[in-house]
Structure formats: C-alpha cells, structure tokens
Amino acid sequence: MKVFCPNCDALYEIKAVESNLIGIDVQCLKCTQEWYQYNFFKDVKIQSDDNFNLSKLAIEEYKISRNNLIETQDTTTFKNKDDLVKTRIQDTSDRLKETKQLVVETQSNKVTTKSGMNIWTIMGFCTITVILGIFYILYELNTQLQKEIPSTKEFLLIYKLFIDQLIDLIKHFFYTQKLRMLL
C-alpha cells in the first residue's frame, strides 16, 4: 500500500497487514507530520457488528469518493493514480491545517475569556459579602438594637445565642483537629 505524507508529499510503501485495526497513527520521517492512515486493504474480522458496519461504510465511502473523483477530474492531467491520490491527500492536508488554525484561534479566545473575571462571580462575591456584613452588624450591635427597637428583642436574643453556639462549635472543631494533629 502506498502512503503519501499530506505535508511534504513523501511516499512510503507499506505492506498490507491483516489485523483488526481500522487504521493507525503514522508520522512522516522527513517532516514529522502526524496523521491517521486508514487500513482499507485488510480482511475485516472485527467482532463488534457496530465496528464492522463502520469500517464497511468507510471503505464504501472511500470507493465512491474515489470513483467520483476520477469521473469528475480530468484524468489526462494525472500521470497515474498515485498523482490523483497525492492531489487528494494534499487537499486533505490543507483542510487539516485550516482546522488546526481554527482550533488554535478558538483555544486562544477561550484562554482570554477564562482569564477575565466573570460578571456573575463578581456579583455572587458582592452579594455574599453584603449578607455576611449584615450578619456581623446584627451580632456586634445586638444589645444596642435590643434597646433601640424593643419589638425585635426576642429575635435578636435568639440570633445572638445561635451565633455564640456556632462560634463555640467552630472553636471546638479546630481545637479537636489541633489535638489530633499533635497525637
């Protein structure tokens, strides 16, 4: 089987090997271009029906596209089938380069987006900060608010007791963690 490098047009002769592989990754020895080479000349013995159907469809598509290309192209411009295959591989290589460029551009756009702060992150941080600020003010000014607004006295007492218990639980947790680390 003849294989052409899609980048530098180097020609390689590869023996057809019977295997269950649909194809293999190959690399050009001259320009180090990598591509996936389908194995169209193998005896298909794949166990899975899905894989068998997929490889059968790929082979049929290859044959149809090859026949269509031969019919639509002026075959007098090509010296032999190798030139035709070489031209088609070069077209595929050009499409591959364009796709790689689009991927690089898309990834660079994502990187710039990720480095910038998201507006919802900022809004969430500000909201949490305001809520925690209100809780802190209610705790610190609890006794003064009880005197100023007598109708909230019961609520403020319960709130103060709850926060005091929460602080004690946190202190106890860190104290026991510190003891565990020492043991």
Whole-angstrom distance, CA of residue 160 vs CA of residue 164: 6
Q: Which of 100, 115, 130 is where one domain is finished? A: 115
* Residues 147, 74 within the same domain: no
Whole-angstrom distance, CA of residue 124 vs CA of residue 35: 46
* Residues 91, 124 within the same domain: no
Q: Quote the number of domains for the chain.
A: 2
* Residues 47, 107 within the same domain: yes
* Residues 136, 93 within the same domain: no
* Structural domain for 38, as ranges: 2-115
**What average pLDDT score do residues 135-142 get?**
92
pLDDT digits (tens, 9 = 90+) for 67-94: 655 555 444 455 566 666 677 777 777 7
* Residues 91, 152 within the same domain: no
* Residues 108, 124 within the same domain: no
The residue ranking higher by pLDDT, 71 or 7, is 7
Angle at 162 (CA atoms; ends 157, 164), nearest 5 degrees: 95
* Residues 34, 99 within the same domain: yes
Whole-angstrom distance, CA of residue 62 vs CA of residue 42: 14
